[in-house]
Amino acid sequence: MQLLIGRDGLPLFSSSRVFVNFLLLVLCSQFAFSVLAMRGALLPQMLDLWEISKTQFGILMTIYGVVHNVFYLCLAWAQDRFSTRSLISINMVLGGVTTFFLGKTTDFATLCFLFVMLSLWCEGAFWPAILSAVRKSTSDSNQSKIFGLLEGGRGGVELLQNTLAVGLYTALGYNVLGLELAFMVNAGIMIILGIIAWFRLPQETLLKSGADAKKANREVFEGMKVTLRLPEVWLAGAAGFTVYMAYTSLPFFLTYLDELHALPILAISVFGILSTSGGRIAIAFPSGFIADRFGIARTVFVLTLTMAGSFVAFAILPGGKAYLFLMLLNVAVASCAVFALRGIYFALLDDSGVAPAVTGTAVGVISAIGFTPDFFMPILGGMLLDSYPGVLGYRYYFGVIAIMSICGVLAAHQLMRQSQQADVIKGPVKFK
């Protein structure tokens, strides 16, 4: 099967066990973000469940972003020191417990605390461990394909998650109790996956003691110094910054269609599922193959340019039913560009000359830069949309994203130039 054949003509996965473990990583990497997945299809309903405004939702997401970015930096070294099995399994269980309680409270202070915990368990130490394990699942020449498979697989799981959540919400008569039940189901699955991961994933790295510990720490910090000196890592972080800024806006597409185009709430949820989960499945898979064929950096540049153009359209076009079809099409284009980029931009690690041994460190640095929009975009979006109701608020909000997307185009262009220069030195890539 071509899907499982690598760029070098060899199997993408060295054994069936590695393949099964990869599928487990896909499941873990998506269910850990159950709450974020549901906001992409059910944001209006989540606001009702928690009895909060868009500004308060923005505060929650900002708290989430600040916490995980701090821990990306503080725990970057831990990714190359501790077992990925331990980091993944323990955090999945703790994240599941937190998700359960998120469906049971309407107190805003409690929600703030739970979002701190959720960010700690499901982002800070967890996400770099997932990416490190995924990168080690195949050879260096197949990084675009493996990350495309990861993102596309996560889209398939997200589709099931949100279909279940919308189904429960609808079955219970459009009652928030259905959404509460969805939180409980996702929490239970997270805990089960965490237990399976503990017994299934390999124990690759153990914390050492004495002289060995000092040597291991020295090697890790030396790896960090080398990684921080690579301009490609910082450019990849800047590209990720732009992508993630756009990604944070996706839930507000739902309120945009609700408030400016008066779509029925169920239709909005269905469209949210199709534009997010469907986009990830349809685009993330082939994006890895396209990047392997035309170059990772070049593909990132073209997709970033497409994304920027889409948000410029959001910023200048008026609302209203006359523009409904055009806006639906633009939502689809923006979603596809975002998820295609999410499927491949961590594959830039291969172009950057980052050694597999310090993948966790590099991911921590890139993630700390790339996920910075979580510091300000959710609360900025909530405040703009609450302060300027109607088309003006969305024009301001999407305008900010459009401007930053153009900056991302410049970073992606520089990455492409550096990649082309490296290819001239190394010679053309040969395909078998």
The answer to whether 103 and 42 have CB atoms below 8 angstroms apart is no
Tell me which residue of 127, 349, 136 sits closest to 230, measured CA to CA.
349
d(CA 132, CA 150): 12
pLDDT value, residue 83 = 76
Query: Locate tokens 């989430």: which residue?
Result: 64
Flag whether pLDDT at 358 surpasses 80: no
Question: Residues 88, 92, 98, 104: what is their CA dihedral angle, to the nearest 10 degrees?
Answer: 160
Burial class for 61, CB neighbours closer than 10 Å (0-12, 13-18, 19+): buried
User: Does the model's pTM come out above 0.75?
Assistant: no
Which residues in 97-106 are b (16+ Cβ under 10 Å) and which e? ebbbbbbeee
Could you read off the pLDDT of 195-236 as tens digits, one per residue?
999 998 887 644 444 455 566 556 656 666 766 777 777 888
Could you read off the pLDDT of 400-414 as tens digits, one per residue?
999 989 988 988 888
Q: Using 50, 70 and 90 to split pLDDT, how confident is the model at 81? A: low
Flag whether pLDDT at 431 surpasses 50: no
Flag whether pLDDT at 67 surpasses 80: yes
> Is the dihedral angle over the CA atoms 380, 382, 383, 384 positive or is it negative?
positive
pLDDT value, residue 5 = 64
Segment 354-368 shows an average pLDDT of 67
Could you read off the pLDDT of 172-182 as tens digits, one per residue?
877 888 889 99
pLDDT value, residue 287 = 78
Could you read off the pLDDT of 126-169 as tens digits, one per residue?
887 887 788 777 766 677 778 778 877 888 888 888 888 888 88
d(CA 230, CA 17): 34
The answer to whether 243 and 12 have CB atoms below 8 angstroms apart is no
Amino acid in the structure at residue 129: A
Q: Which domains does the chain have, with CATH numbers?
A: 20-201+210-426 (1.20.1250.20)
Could you read off the pLDDT of 228-277 as tens digits, one per residue?
777 777 888 888 888 888 888 877 877 787 777 777 777 777 777 777 77
Kindly state the percentage of the chain with pLDDT values over 90. 18
d(CA 21, CA 202): 9
Look up residue 18 and give its two tokens: 């590695």
pLDDT value, residue 430 = 32
User: Pick the residue with more confidence: 260 or 426?
Assistant: 260
pLDDT value, residue 69 = 74
The answer to whether 97 and 146 have CB atoms below 8 angstroms apart is no
* Cβ neighbours, 10 Å, residue 332: 18
As a whole number of Å, the CA-based R_g of the chain is: 21
Q: What is the 3-state secondary structure (H, E, C) of 3-59?
A: HHECCCCCECCCCHHHHHHHHHHHHHHHHCCHHHHHHHHHHHHHHHHHCCCHHHHHH
Segment 281-298 shows an average pLDDT of 77
Could you read off the pLDDT of 321-357 as tens digits, one per residue?
677 788 888 888 888 888 888 777 766 666 655 666 6
